[in-house]
């Protein structure tokens, strides 16, 4: 939680008087909603820059296109392609899966996080 100055101030107050802290998670959005909304009003990748990071071995966010169930068919590169603006960046992290923040490659996320917030 060291990289999250807001989240570390949340939670129960410990006997020491300091908050326990909480890890904040991004909102989960169904892929079907994203594909439809990604190009809406031309905002994403324009006035709202987009950074998408995913793992090379992430089969959760990169299911087989012909899975038979549109709610279970995900493709990070297809989502990226649906974003209309030029202010967008797609990063595939080698040797990582769906849970990058808990995997060996997590150390490579800190520079990406810092650059995405202008640090």
For the stretch 65-106, pLDDT in tens is: 666 666 667 788 888 898 988 999 999 999 998 888 888 888
Domains of the chain: which residue ranges?
Answer: 7-116
Query: Nearest-CA neighbor of 75 among 89, 61, 88?
Result: 61
Query: Nearest-CA neighbor of 2 among 113, 116, 118, 115?
Result: 113
Report the C-alpha gap between 85 and 47 in whole angstroms.
8
With bands split at pLDDT 50, 70 and 90, how would you rate the model's confidence at 48?
A: confident
Q: Is the pLDDT of residue 40 over 60?
A: yes
Report the C-alpha gap between 41 and 1 in whole angstroms.
35
Query: Which contacts qualify for 63-70: CB closer than 8 Å, 24 or more apart?
Result: 70/32
Report the C-alpha gap between 48 and 109 in whole angstroms.
21
């Amino acid at each position: 939680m060291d990289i999250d100055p807001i989240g570390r101030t949340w939670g129960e107050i410990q006997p020491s008087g300091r908050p326990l802290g909480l890890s904040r998670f991004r909102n989960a959005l169904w892929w079907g909603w994203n594909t439809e909304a990604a190009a809406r009003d031309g905002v994403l990748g324009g006035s709202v820059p987009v950074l998408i990071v995913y793992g090379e071995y992430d089969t959760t966010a990169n299911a087989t296109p012909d899975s038979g169930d549109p709610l279970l068919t995900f493709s990070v590169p297809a989502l990226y392609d649906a974003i209309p603006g030029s202010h967008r960046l797609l990063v595939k992290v080698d040797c990582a899966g769906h849970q990058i923040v808990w995997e060996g490659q997590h150390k490579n996320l800190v520079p990406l996080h810092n650059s995405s917030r202008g640090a």
